[in-house]
Chains A and B, each alone.
Chain A
């Protein structure tokens, strides 16, 4: 398959956009900001029942539709454009890629069909209180009575409270490993964190002698985590491209109708140039996100580099788009009533999540082994 928007992918984008505008318009997003759970379960069910979105990139043998990341990126772009609050990211961008990366047949059969079908919500918990996006190591796993038990904590866990199953990284005797923890397991405490971005919920979990199921090999954690985070970075980049597009659309629309000095502010070069700069960055980010998604499907050896490129470029583009959108809207853009702040918060927090642009640029330098001075 080729890169970018094929006719089929455009059609998919259109269906998702139609679904979102009908089921999760901005008025619904606003209501969910105040909601304890932070998302609408009926919408979640309909995403699966009507469009099969959760399973789009899951192989058919595990209950999915068997498409790829290129299609999934299209979905994330639309969800990001409309700021849809839902546990989609945790389930589809973290839990499912981790399960697939583990190549653990048993775990895949146990969890993937539920996650792909919208019956289960999942997430991956790998960061601890120190906020290291490479993963924390203070959670320990030990074998007990034929099973495993975990002790420790995880923080900044995306969709932690909504999840039915949490994939948790922990230090096992053979090294870092991934475990599945049932949300109802004894010794698991989940606490919602009060988030700056109210459209994406985070939590902190504590594990006290909590029973867990090993996913993949004992000691394969770093490999699974690395493969998962590359894919999650690509999908977050796609989501950010959608958010940036929404900001540019809002800016342009407002600049055409808002008049000062007797003319639309969009006729002033100061405003025009802001919009043009955002478009240049946005289109670069779109190319990078689509290319990285294509790589995840067709050319995975390139993924570790292009995923970082996409995350860095899309983070900068979305924040710039959201910041200029606030500025172009003037005073009204600084109010709670206006949507500009929702995008501004989503942009900044998404830029930080999974590692900020500096984190990803330094990772690129590492992965290129730039210190050799030679082109790889």
Chain B
């Protein structure tokens, strides 16, 4: 049921080198995995003892070279391919070891710098992401620039050897412990909208940056509105050159593809079986309608698992994964599935879903139901993903836009 690529009769063919890597990770984890991190996640607020254990594990992973593993070796990464990252993730999952990453610095900022930064910028910024010195939060979306991100209006003006930035951002995540905002701002009003944008790394502290937490539908925070008033960043912090920021922002590391191919489904499978257990508690597992809905969910999780094997096998054997390997297909699949699962879960809870704890403390399924509504919005809405599939995969004509 939980077959990963490494088990007997695995559907993925690995090379000897890939198997050797897998073994190396397995042995390292066996020797180094901490015993005191059961149930701990990389969450915002931790009890003091968990936070200390987490920090120690983070340090150990960093020292052993398990940070930013998909980055090229010359920039402090391990140069792992998507297949190797997937094997790494499988081994961490198998060992029950928490895989720590450097978040947006690792997945978004670093790859942009690697692809578009100068050698001086790479030498300065990349080691600071790897060792945890710099933590980033994202300043892309604006109140009037959501799906149409390139219509953003936050303004950057070059004064001497600095860019002075003014404007407003929204949906800033990770703001509470970030020291840098990676920000898109318009530095040329006269240029076509995709051309006059710059990608600037703006220091947060004492620099005219104010975060106001947004209370979400769950009643909790997580994101902020960001007000930027005369914030200054050295020109050195402009990545990819002035007015070239759109291209920089659209960068992802080509070789990280498939890294979560065979472990992505795990959290969804765990979630489904939690719902089955709740349906059991409520005495609903004899109801054919409930049984069918849960089996429908099972089918969806299976499709995620099986698609992961396909993608990994295609990458491992150097074949074209086809349209099924496209990121937009995967995004639509999991986000719309989870949204529906949240609805099914509340239906199964029935009257229990009508009430919360004191102070609007939500039951886990109430949170899932609400949070899953945003899965089809962030990172490109489900509608934008459909446009991408239609135009880039199926070759349908683009619609004119202003």
Q: List chain A positions with a Cβ less than 8 A from chain B.
A: 1-7, 248, 252, 255-256, 263-264, 266-269, 271-273, 275-277, 279-280, 283-284, 286-288, 290-291, 294, 298-299, 302, 305-306, 309, 312-313, 358, 361-362, 364-365, 368, 370-376
Among A266, A273, A361, point to the contact of B292 (Cβ < 8 A).
Answer: A361
* A2 engages B317 (CB within 8 Å): yes
* A276 engages B389 (CB within 8 Å): yes
* A291 engages B11 (CB within 8 Å): yes
Among B288, B310, B394, point to the contact of A4 (Cβ < 8 A).
Answer: B310
Instruction: Using known A-B contacts A3-B11, A280-B332, determine if residue A273 contacts B396 with beta carbons closer than 8 Å.
Output: no
* B296 engages A361 (CB within 8 Å): yes
* A373 engages B277 (CB within 8 Å): yes
Instruction: Using known A-B contacts A2-B313, A269-B387, A277-B386, determine if residue A294 contacts B319 with beta carbons closer than 8 Å.
Output: no
| A275 / chain B contacts, CB cutoff of 8 Å | 389-390, 394, 396
Asked if B398 is an interface residue, CB under 8 A from chain A, the answer is yes
How far does the alpha carbon of A372 sit from the alpha carbon of B9 in the complex, in Å? 28
Say how far A115's CB is from chain B's closest CB, in angstroms. 28
| A279 / chain B contacts, CB cutoff of 8 Å | 323, 329, 389, 393-394
What sequence of 0s and 1s flags, for each residue 7-35 of chain B, a beta carbon within 8 Å of any chain A beta carbon? 00101110000000000000000000000
Asked if B322 is an interface residue, CB under 8 A from chain A, the answer is yes
Asked if B280 is an interface residue, CB under 8 A from chain A, the answer is yes
| B294 / chain A contacts, CB cutoff of 8 Å | 365, 370
Q: Which residue of A lies closest to B316 (CB)?
A: A2
Among A267, A290, A371, point to the contact of B396 (Cβ < 8 A).
Answer: A267
* B299 engages A309 (CB within 8 Å): yes
* B323 engages A283 (CB within 8 Å): yes
* B396 engages A266 (CB within 8 Å): yes
Asked if B148 is an interface residue, CB under 8 A from chain A, the answer is no
How far does the alpha carbon of A109 sit from the alpha carbon of B396 in the complex, in Å? 53
Asked if B160 is an interface residue, CB under 8 A from chain A, the answer is no
Say how far A141's CB is from chain B's closest CB, in angstroms. 33
Instruction: Using known A-B contacts A276-B394, A313-B303, A362-B291, determine if residue A283 contacts B329 with beta carbons closer than 8 Å.
Output: yes
Q: Which residue of B lies closest to A283 (CB)?
A: B324
* A280 engages B317 (CB within 8 Å): no
Number of interface residues of B (CB under 8 A): 52
Among B277, B299, B319, B395, point to the contact of A361 (Cβ < 8 A).
Answer: B299
Say how far A301's CB is from chain B's closest CB, in angstroms. 9
Asked if B399 is an interface residue, CB under 8 A from chain A, the answer is yes
Asked if B306 is an interface residue, CB under 8 A from chain A, the answer is yes
Would you give 5 A-B contacts (Cβ < 8 Å), ordered by A? A2-B313, A3-B310, A298-B11, A302-B3, A373-B277
How far does the alpha carbon of A252 sit from the alpha carbon of B390 in the complex, in Å? 9
Within 8 A of A (CB), among B375-391: 383, 385-387, 389-391
Say how far A297's CB is from chain B's closest CB, in angstroms. 9
How far does the alpha carbon of A277 sit from the alpha carbon of B332 in the complex, in Å? 9
Say how far B93's CB is from chain A's closest CB, in angstroms. 15
* A291 engages B396 (CB within 8 Å): no
Within 8 A of A (CB), among B254-286: 273, 276-277, 279-281, 285-286
Chain A interface secondary structure, helix, strand, loop or mixed? helix
Chain B interface secondary structure, helix, strand, loop or mixed? helix
How far does the alpha carbon of A116 sit from the alpha carbon of B390 in the complex, in Å? 42
How far does the alpha carbon of A364 sit from the alpha carbon of B299 in the complex, in Å? 9
Asked if B309 is an interface residue, CB under 8 A from chain A, the answer is yes
Asked if B51 is an interface residue, CB under 8 A from chain A, the answer is no
How far does the alpha carbon of A361 sit from the alpha carbon of B389 in the complex, in Å? 29
Asked if B48 is an interface residue, CB under 8 A from chain A, the answer is no
| A368 / chain B contacts, CB cutoff of 8 Å | 295, 298
| A286 / chain B contacts, CB cutoff of 8 Å | 324
Among B292, B333, B396, B398, point to the contact of A362 (Cβ < 8 A).
Answer: B292
Chain B CB count within 10 A is highest, among A266, A267, A283, A294, for A283
Asked if B1 is an interface residue, CB under 8 A from chain A, the answer is yes
* A256 engages B393 (CB within 8 Å): no
Instruction: Using known A-B contacts A370-B285, A373-B280, determine if residue A365 contacts B397 with beta carbons closer than 8 Å.
Output: no
Given A283-B322, A284-B303, A372-B280, 11 other A-B residues pairs in contact with their CB atoms under 8 A: A4-B310, A269-B383, A272-B387, A279-B389, A280-B329, A280-B332, A284-B333, A287-B303, A371-B286, A373-B281, A374-B276
Q: Which residue of B lies closest to A286 (CB)?
A: B324
| B383 / chain A contacts, CB cutoff of 8 Å | 269, 273
| A364 / chain B contacts, CB cutoff of 8 Å | 295, 298-299
Instruction: Using known A-B contacts A288-B306, A294-B11, A298-B11, determine if residue A374 contacts B277 with beta carbons closer than 8 Å.
Output: yes
Asked if B251 is an interface residue, CB under 8 A from chain A, the answer is no
* A280 engages B299 (CB within 8 Å): no
Asked if B230 is an interface residue, CB under 8 A from chain A, the answer is no
Say how far B91's CB is from chain A's closest CB, in angstroms. 20
* B398 engages A2 (CB within 8 Å): no
* A3 engages B292 (CB within 8 Å): no
How far does the alpha carbon of A6 sit from the alpha carbon of B389 in the complex, in Å? 25
* A287 engages B324 (CB within 8 Å): yes
* A273 engages B397 (CB within 8 Å): no
* A299 engages B9 (CB within 8 Å): yes
Say how far B248's CB is from chain A's closest CB, in angstroms. 27
* A266 engages B310 (CB within 8 Å): no
| B398 / chain A contacts, CB cutoff of 8 Å | 267
* A7 engages B324 (CB within 8 Å): no
Q: Which residue of B lies closest to A359 (CB)?
A: B292
| A4 / chain B contacts, CB cutoff of 8 Å | 11, 309-310, 313-314
* A256 engages B395 (CB within 8 Å): yes
Q: Which residue of B lies closest to A252 (CB)?
A: B394
Which 3 pairs across A and B sit closest by C-beta, in order of nearness? A373-B280, A272-B390, A283-B324
Among B276, B302, B391, B397, point to the contact of A264 (Cβ < 8 A).
Answer: B397
* A370 engages B295 (CB within 8 Å): yes
Chain A CB count within 10 A is highest, among B11, B306, B322, B333, for B306
* A362 engages B313 (CB within 8 Å): no
